[in-house]
Amino acid sequence: MEPRSSAAYTVGFSAVVCLVCAVLVSSAAVALRERQAVNVELDRKRNVLLAAGALRAGEDVPREEVEARFGSFEIVAVDLRTGEEDPAFEVEGYDATRALADPGASRAAPANAAQLARLPNHALVYKQLDEDGRLSLLVLPLEGKGLWSTMYGFLALEADLTTIRGLTYYQHGETPGLGGEVDNPRWRALWPDREAYDEGGAVAIEVTRGAAGPARTDPHRVDGLAGATLTSRGVTNMLRFWLGDSGFGPYLEGLKSRDANVETP
């Protein structure tokens, strides 16, 4: 038996400790994987509700209430290559961000100001239906570059698919107090009733430098973020990309051509 002060004993003991720790960490990761997935899904639903105005910023509601409020939404997969809904696509557990790493589930993005290198073939949208099964609200996922980070959020559109109900960001690495003000409820409160498109159907919404007017008289502009010009520009760029021809534009046009408020299949 090697003495405890020998190099062989030290190496062997360290190896055993490392092995035991690795087993414990791996076991914990496996045991918590399902719970983590549930929490990620719950956070996604919370942010959809925030964009839709069905949940207030800072409102602390239990999981059951989140699920109940989210129950009026239908999750639909949109094939971004065709602009059509794909009813055969499995939405359960789908993560568009992970799909970007799969060449079979994504493709190179066209040149764009939002600085997106790749696009998923499918994206999940959230349709809220009225009692007659007609569209009353549509929530779209967004992503694009700010100053320091890729920003992820949701945009909610009214049934006319032009009037904005709300905008929220749930993940970014922008500077606190500057670009990080995209999280500020006061700034988010400026978005409802703005219009994404002009009368000719072109994407017109933008975050302007300085102050914009009220939605009634200045419907296409929102106040810029003080001291965060590049983050403000990033918000404009990603909105114009996802609302345009390379993003959800063809899908929205298809809905509009059916008069927007049509019964879903």
Domain ranges, ordered by start, for the chain: 1-71, 72-257
State how far the Cα of 254 lies from the Cα of 248, in Å rounded to an integer: 10
pLDDT, one tens digit per residue, over 21-66 is 666 566 554 554 455 566 778 889 999 999 999 998 888 889 999 9
Residue 259 has pLDDT above 80, yes or no: no
81 phi/psi in degrees, rounded to 5: -80, -30
In 3D space, the residue among 242, 240, 239, 248 whose CA is nearest the CA of residue 78 turns out to be 248
Q: Residue 64: what residue type?
A: E
Higher-pLDDT residue of 18 and 222 is: 222
The pair of structure tokens assigned to 203 is 């994407």
Handedness of CA 42, 91, 239, 107 (dihedral sign): positive
pLDDT tens digit string along 101-143?
999 999 999 999 999 999 999 999 999 988 888 899 999 999 9
Q: Which residue has the tokens 């959230």?
A: 126
C-beta neighbour count of 74 within 10 angstroms: 14
The reported pTM is 0.84
- Match 């003495």 to its residue by tokens: 3
